[in-house]
Structures are given as C-alpha cells and as structure tokens.
Structure 1
Amino acid sequence: MSATLERGYLRLLNFYPAEYRRDRGAEILETLMAASDGRERPAPRESASLILGALRVRAGLVGRDSRPLVLHVAALALLVHFTVMAARRVSPYSFDLSPDVLIPVAALLGAVATIATWRHRPRTAILTASLAFVLFQVTAWPMAGPSNGEFWQVPLAVLLLLPALRQSAPAPARGVLRHLPLVAVPLAGLDGWAGFGAVATVSVAALVWLAVDARVAMALGLLLLNYVLVQVSFLAETAGTGRFTDTVVSLGLAVVSPALLLISSTTVARRI
C-alpha cells in the first residue's frame, strides 16, 4: 500500500469532526485503501465525495429525522422577522399615551417568543407570539391587514410550532442551518428592489448548498412563504382595480424563490 495515498486520504478525513474520525476513521481509511487499485493519489471523485460527506456530517445530517428541526428553524426565523419589523415601527411617539405604546410591547413579546422557540418552549412561544400579533394588529388597525408586511409571520410560525407540542425537542441545529434565522434580520430591514435582491441572493446560496444540506433550502422556503401570502392578500384586495396586473406580476416574483426552494429541497431530501 502507498504511504503517499494513505497520507492523502488522511488529509481528506481531517475534514470530518474529530469524534467521527475516532469512531469510523480507521474503518473508512481501510475501505478506501483496499479499493485503491494501486493509485498514488486519491481520485478526484473520491476527494469530492469525502469532502461532501464531511460537510454533511458537520451539518448533523447523519441518522436523524430532520423534519422537526426544519420546522423549528423556520418558525424561529419567522419570529425573528416579525420582531425586527415590529422594532422598526418603534419611534419616540410610541411611548406616549396612545395606542402606539403597544408597538414596543409587541416587539418585546416577539423577542420573548423568539427566545422561547430557541429554547424549545413551544407553548410559551405560541402564547407570547399570539399576544404580540394581537397587540400589533390592534395598534396598526385599520391600516394593517393580511396584505401588510407584518401580518403573516406569526400565524405561520404558530402553525409550524404546533407539531412541537407533541414532540420532544429536536437535536440542535448545526452548520449553516443553525444560523439561518439570522437571514431574517436583513430581509426584514430591506424593502422594494433591495429586498427582492436580498431574497434572490439567499435563495441562490441555499440552492447551491442543496448538495450539502437540503434542510437549509427547505427552512428558507418556509420563511419566504410569508412574502407569497402578503402578495396573495394584496391581489385579493386589488381585484378589479388598475393595480391588479402589477400585483399579479409581484405575486409571480414572490412565488419563484419559495417554490424552487421547497420543491428542490424536498426532491433532494428524498434521494439522500
């Protein structure tokens, strides 16, 4: 057996976590060396396969049911999105003796719901998020409604959290999936074409990452359903008006990213 080839495989195995290498490293190395056919270097396909496998292990994809975790991460991202958007509404006028004082309260409750979700307390998260939603809608009435940008995050998050009431806490998110809720911060802070560009950018990145972790695209697709529901609601409101055609175009653009993310991630997840 070639010492050069063995060193090449060992360098590739270093991409795996130390614990994984201790448990299975020797077995993997033995299998690779036995199938080497006298090569002096790892084949390019072997190298790519080992690196991809290491990234999947680091993402926590080995031997776990990912559905509860995807729902948890998507709900967390939606609550972050709501909290940031509610916080953007806070102004010096929010603290006078008027209904506007409920805006910072709603933002605070949104933060509490976010923390509760992160700590796997679904009952607390659902209750505080629902209260935050009610307070925010009372404050924004009559201007707010289903076509308002702050409307759908909480209902979607609550819907995604309902299965957690009967399930144990999922395994902690790892890798890129762990940080996905942070994507909601810039998405909530950008409007118009800047917001569209941000959505397109993160969507493309998630599609590229499909080969490693399809759960990232799936959770992002669930987050972006918020934008689809806003446009559907706006379409219903503008039916029969001159803005109807523009709204249909906006709805089409809003549907593209979540549709691609959810369909592609579901397809990839079934094949792995």
Structure 2
Amino acid sequence: MSSDVLEKRYRMLLRAYPADYRRERADELIDTLIGEEPTTRRWPSIRETASLIRGALQVHGGSTAARPTAVLLWQGIHLGAMAVLALGALIGLDDLVEAFQFGGFADPLAVLRDQGIHAVMVIAALVALVTGRARTAAVLVVAAVVVPTAISQYLLLNGLPQWWAPVVATPLIMVGLRRPADVPPAPRANAVLVTAGILALHLIPAEGFRRVDMGSQIVAAIMVIVGAATFLWVATADQRLLIAVAPTLLLGTLHQLGNAGSAGELLHRPDALPSLVVAVLMAVGAVVSTRLRQRTRA
C-alpha cells in the first residue's frame, strides 16, 4: 500500500514533464525512484522532489531535443518577445490607472489618446503572439509603435518604457518568423508560465532598499534575495529564461538612459545598464554551455 501511494505521488511530480517525455520515460523513472526493495515511505524526499522539478525544467528548456542549442535560441527569442510585450502592457496599464486616479477623469479622452490606444495595441500584439499568430503579431507590434505615436507623442517624448516595449519586441518577432521547421514552438502553457515568472521578477520591491525604516529594508532585502535566487535556480535549469529576460531589462535601460534620475514604478529595480550586461553575459553563457554539451553528447 505504501508503495502504491508513493508511486502515485511520484507520478504527480512527473506531470511537470512534457506529455511526450512522460509517455516514453515515466515508468522507467518510477522504477528507478522506488527501486525493487519494499518501502514504507509515503512521500518523495525533498531532494528527489527538487531533482524531478529541475529535471522537468531542463526538458522544457530543450535539454533532450535533437538540437538543444537551436531550441534554446529560437524559443528563448519567442519567450523574450512575449515577456517584453507583457511587461510593456503591465506598465502601460499601471500608468493608465494612475492617470485616471490623479485627475484623468477631467479629460478622459486625452488620457486614452496619450496612453490608452498604445496599451490596447500592445495587448493585442501580445494576445496574437500567445495564441500562435506570429505574423499577425508582427503586424500589430509595428502598428503599436507607429499608430499611437502618430496620434500622440506623449509616450515617445517622455521616453516611457511601455513605448519601448513594441520597439524591442519587433525584431524579436521578426526573427522568430524564421524559426527552423525542426525546432518546435514553445508550448503555450509553458510560455505563459515563463512570462509570468519574468514579470514576477520585475515586481520584486527592490525600491525598499531606499526606505528609511529598517524593517522595510530588511523585508525588501529578503524578498529580493529569495526572488533572485528562485529565478536563478529556475533559469539555470530552463536556460531559455536567461535569454528571455534580457529584452525586459533593456526596457529599463532605454528608459533610464533617456530619463536620468527617473523611472516607472514597475522599474524601480537595478535594471539599467549593469543588469542588462549581466543578463546578456548569462544568455551568452547559456548558449555556449548548451553548445558544448551538444557536442559532447554527439
């Protein structure tokens, strides 16, 4: 009975793996984990749980693919485009709500003209990309740069990060249209989870370091350390995240370079040039290490 319960719980953990991988390897993994000797254990150990989750992340990242480097690059580019549009949409909606909170209802048409049209078009491009309509997304993302700017130059003149989002996403989506036929697209559910993880990284309240209250500084420091450590643990397994996060950090860099001393609320993080450089170096390291492993395996 204990073995049956343990096997059931192992199989629940194995659901983190892609369906194709489970069909091929699940029974083999279960036999290895449980072993041939009778056991009274009812729960997987913490170490086994962490190993299985990390293994699932590696498989999602393309470690078992025929061309892992190609999967890393092409899916990383696709995820980067999604993440940068999602962050731009999130910042745009945050600024839009704030504008209405502080007097925007006196002239709602001006707020919608200056910020609303852009937010709607960025969201439309993001939805198209998430649903697999890459060509439609390419058209919408270019329109999200041109059309709102032609109507109002508020975002452009202020160098706001949401204006830069479709600008940064455009070449990523265009390049993604050339994805080789033998490289599968990132599964939709997985892509949404990766995007949510990158957004969560940007929502870590690093600005708490600037507060006078020591208690707030300690809480902020703990959240930053835990959040960064969690992201790095996941990203070193699924290395597509190391590529996907770089474009989102580029938004902060472009905004801060054009607006010295100011930044949007959602970009109150150390994400200017130094963090972008670190992100690019990590992405390059991920590609090089994956390429070396591919050669070794060959």
TM-score (norm 1): 0.66
Partner of 1:233: 258
Q: Which moved more, 1:163-172 or 1:24-33?
A: 24-33
Give how far 1:47 is off.
Answer: 7.9
Partner of 1:178: 192
Aligned partners of 1:30 and 1:151: how far apart in 2? Answer: 53
Stretches of structure 1 that go unaligned for 5 or more consecutive residues are: 236-242, 244-249
Matches within 5 A, 1:82-101: 82-87=88-93, 88-89=95-96, 91-93=104-106, 95-96=108-109, 101=113
Partner of 1:239: none
Residue 74 (str. 1) matches residue 88 (str. 2):
no
Higher relative contact order (CA 8 A, sep 6+): 2
Give how far 1:115 is off.
Answer: 0.8
Aligned partners of 1:217 and 1:14: how far apart in 2? Answer: 28
Aligned partners of 1:211 and 1:11: how far apart in 2? Answer: 26
Higher Rg: 1
1:259 to 277, 280, 285: 277
Partner of 1:57: 59
> 3-state DSSP class of the match of 2:160?
coil
Stretches of structure 2 that go unaligned for 5 or more consecutive residues are: 211-219, 262-267, 294-298
Residue 108 (str. 1) matches residue 133 (str. 2):
no
Matches within 5 A, 1:1-272: 15-17=13-15, 20-27=21-28, 49=51, 52-57=54-59, 61-63=63-65, 65-87=71-93, 88-89=95-96, 91-93=104-106, 95-96=108-109, 101=113, 103-138=115-150, 141=153, 144-145=156-157, 147-167=159-179, 170-173=185-188, 175=190, 177-182=191-196, 193=207, 202-234=227-259, 254-269=272-287, 270-271=289-290
**What do the CA deviations read for 1:73-115 (whole angstroms, capped 9, x no partner)?**
211122222223333336435544x585353222221221111
Aligned partners of 2:233 and 2:90: how far apart in 1? Answer: 27
Q: How many residues align?
A: 253
Residue 85 of structure 2 contacts residue 122 of structure 2 at CA under 8 Å; is this kept in 1?
Answer: yes
Aligned partners of 2:269 and 2:119: how far apart in 1? Answer: 28
> 3-state DSSP class of the match of 1:170?
coil
CA RMSD in angstroms comes to 4.7
TM-score (norm 2): 0.62
